[in-house]
Amino acid sequence: MQGWKNDKRWSDRFLPEIKQILGLHLIGEPPIEEDQERNTDLIVLKMDAVRIGCRMRRNEYLKKYPNDFTMRAGRPSGAKTELTKIIEGWGDYFFYGFANEDDSLIAHWILGDLKVFRRWFVFEICKRKGSIPGVKKENGDNSSVFMVFSINDLPCEFFVATNN
């Protein structure tokens, strides 16, 4: 559990910047009729709860793996991971970012649509006759197992926004 706490503490420092980015892409200007008739100057693009998973990575990984998109797929504790929760249907969007060199800002990011990811994931399993897409990778300290996906393999509809 200590590994998760450390990962979360490091990642959470980027939440204020992530919120700013998400606001630019998930809050929009409504049609003029909304303002005239319903007192609406801004509109959230969905009325229900919108669940957004966030994963931040250190800058060294941007240099090594600029086209990779990874999700935690296992912990020795057996705790549910990002990938399991997403495949179970949780989450609407996924923010995936890399820190800059001094961990003060976000250097690179993508915002993905998890409905599109789930459809792609299931399609790939069918196409591969039951084999899960991506490459399984354990991190160096054995605290997590990840599935690595190439962003080039994901459908373009997955990408809601990016700073590329």
Domain contains 33: no
Whether 28 maps to a domain, the answer reads: no
CB 53 within 8 A of CB 82: yes
Residue 88, amino acid = E
Domain presence at residue 41: no
How many separate domains does the chain show? 1
Report long-range pairs for 134-142 (Cβ below 8 Å, ≥24 apart). 136/73, 137/70, 141/3, 142/76
- pLDDT of the chain along its 164 residues, tens only? 566 687 888 888 898 898 999 888 888 887 888 777 777 778 776 667 788 999 999 999 999 999 998 999 998 888 888 999 999 999 999 999 999 999 999 999 999 999 999 999 999 999 999 999 999 999 888 888 999 999 999 999 999 999 97
What are 145's strand-pairing partners? 74, 138
